[in-house]
Amino acid sequence: MNEIIETIMEQINWRVLHLMGFQFVRMNDETLRVHKGNKNLDIKYDYGVDLYDLTKHTIRKDLTIEAEEVENVFFDQLQDIISEFFNIREAVGCPR
């Protein structure tokens, strides 16, 4: 695994998410996919602005995919976005 993916995983507190049944897929050298159920969240590092761009995917019962992009996300916003998107009651919490 490369440094960018490792950094993203630490910033989202992957160990807690893993215990909650989340899966992680390295899409390329700067994009990590967080997956659970019918949802995927792609977290891509943008070198130019030192922020993250996110793509939220929700797979519907008819197998269509609803996608939403969120740009220019700070690392300390990632956990809250994950909690909201995956409907986790409490934040996954990690040192900031």
CA 72 – CA 53 distance, rounded (Å):
6
Handedness of CA 63, 25, 87, 50 (dihedral sign): negative
Give yes or no for residue 92 having a pLDDT over 70: no
Average pLDDT over residues 8-17: 96
Q: Bigger pLDDT: 43 or 94?
A: 43
Give yes or no for residue 90 having a pLDDT over 80: no
Give yes or no for residue 94 having a pLDDT over 70: no
What is the reported pTM? 0.89
